């Protein structure tokens, strides 16, 4: 995978036996189940990554998260980033395996441990999942997550309104609102100036009001 935002991720170029990849997926799914039961992703999932693995995802138009190496993945991606989400569930509902490229795509949901007044779960809408490259020895070489950022943002607004966000998550939101980059977060390009933001806002407002 060639991506300037994730320079350490290389294109997959090795085929693997189908049976080995299928077993890897089953081990990974069980590891996720064990992590959810324990509320501890770091202990249960760290062994699934190569020492030089890369784990990344996008956070809107100008920000990526990147953890390079097993230690950063353990400490930040499935350590710090999962603080405050110990009771959330991420059930997989579909898996695609490409043994000729050594890659796997898993589609999952992000479900909060809270229900709305109508009895439905708070769950981030849209498509969410992970794209993996297998590196042998029952470990991933890299993982790139994807999810609907707009729906995820809206979900946090809903959870805030319901008064169910944990203090840890509230603190992370507070730091981000102050413009602070959380551990592992990277800007993709320089942030727009106040003038540029105002110009963009006025331009979109004009289009909305006049159609021009």
Each residue of 152-161: pLDDT tens digit? 999 999 999 9
Joined together, the tokens standing for residue 45 give 């999932």
Q: Calculate mean pLDDT across residues 166-175.
A: 94
Joined together, the tokens standing for residue 2 give 């060639």
Q: Calculate mean pLDDT across residues 86-107.
A: 95
Each residue of 107-141: pLDDT tens digit? 999 999 999 999 999 999 999 999 999 999 999 99
Q: What is the pTM of this model?
A: 0.86
Q: How would DSSP label each residue in 108-155?
A: E--EEEEE-TTSPEEE--S--EEEEEE-STT-EEEEEEE--HHHHHHH
Domains of the chain: 18-210 (3.10.450.50)
Phi, psi of 94, rounded to the nearest 5 degrees: -160, 145
Residue 34 in this model has a pLDDT that exceeds 60:
yes
* 92 beta partners: 108
Q: Calculate mean pLDDT across residues 57-75.
A: 95
Task: Check residue 5 and give its pLDDT.
Answer: 42
Contacts 24+ apart (CB under 8 A), 47-53: 47/139, 48/138, 48/139, 48/140, 49/73, 49/74, 49/139, 49/140, 49/143, 50/135, 50/137, 50/139, 50/140, 50/141, 53/135, 53/139, 53/140, 53/141, 53/142, 53/143
């Amino acid at each position: 995978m060639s991506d300037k935002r994730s320079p350490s991720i290389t294109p997959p170029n090795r085929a693997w036996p189908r049976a080995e990849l299928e077993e890897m997926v089953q081990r990974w799914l069980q590891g996720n189940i064990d992590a959810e039961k324990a509320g501890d992703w770091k202990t249960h999932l760290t062994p699934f990554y190569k020492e030089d693995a890369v784990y990344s995802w996008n956070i809107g138009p100008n920000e990526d998260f990147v953890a390079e190496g097993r230690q950063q993945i353990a400490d930040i991606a499935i350590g710090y980033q999962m603080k405050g989400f110990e009771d959330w569930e991420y059930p997989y509902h579909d898996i695609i395996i490409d043994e000729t490229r050594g890659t796997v795509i898993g589609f999952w949901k992000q479900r909060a441990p809270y229900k709305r007044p109508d009895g439905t779960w708070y769950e981030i809408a849209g498509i969410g999942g992970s794209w993996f490259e297998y590196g042998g020895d029952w470990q991933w070489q890299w993982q790139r997550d994807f999810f609907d950022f707009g729906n995820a943002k809206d979900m946090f607004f809903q959870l805030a309104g319901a008064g169910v966000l944990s203090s840890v998550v509230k603190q992370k939101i507070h730091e981000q609102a102050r413009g602070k980059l959380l551990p592992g977060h990277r800007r993709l390009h320089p942030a727009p100036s106040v003038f540029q933001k105002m110009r963009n806002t006025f331009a979109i407002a004009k289009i909305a009001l006049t159609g021009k």
